[in-house]
Amino acid sequence: MTITDKDRELIALLSENAREHTASIARKLGLSRTTVQAKIDRLEQGGVIKGYGLRLSDDYEKGLVKAHILVTIAPKTLPRITAELSDLKEVRALHSVSGNFDLIVVVAADSISELDRVIDFIGEIKGVERTLSSVILSTRIER
């Protein structure tokens, strides 16, 4: 599927607010509402857009303690560790990465003590060899 510059602009607008009215998006893109709706349908059917999600308010997000946890794992343990991490409600994202660590776990907890519990839990998962945690102090850009 070929993605045009207008498709990229549309995706960026939908990323900001997926609930924005098609007519409003069309005005911003300089296209007709029908054309924008056809582009959205094409991107959905082509698998580029796989769904729409919830964005939490800044006030709610400010109340959470977020961290990136870098994890080194033993060979052949990724599927089991992934399954255990997916059961944790605090896990927002799990990335496989190259370099000195194998995974980056992005977590959000209600408090420092809850974050501490999550970090301890991750460190105790069988096959986790090492972790390094960085608490997120502020988010400068989020798209």
Residue 16 binned pLDDT confidence (cut-offs 50, 70, 90): confident
Sheet strands side by side (includes 128-136): 91-96, 103-109, 65-73, 128-136
pLDDT one-digit tens code per residue, 90-118: 999 999 999 999 999 999 999 999 999 99
Indicate whether 15 pLDDT > 80: yes
Indicate whether 132 pLDDT > 90: yes
H helix or E strand, kind and range, residue 68:
strand 65-73
Model's pTM, two decimal places?
A: 0.70
Average pLDDT over residues 59-80: 94
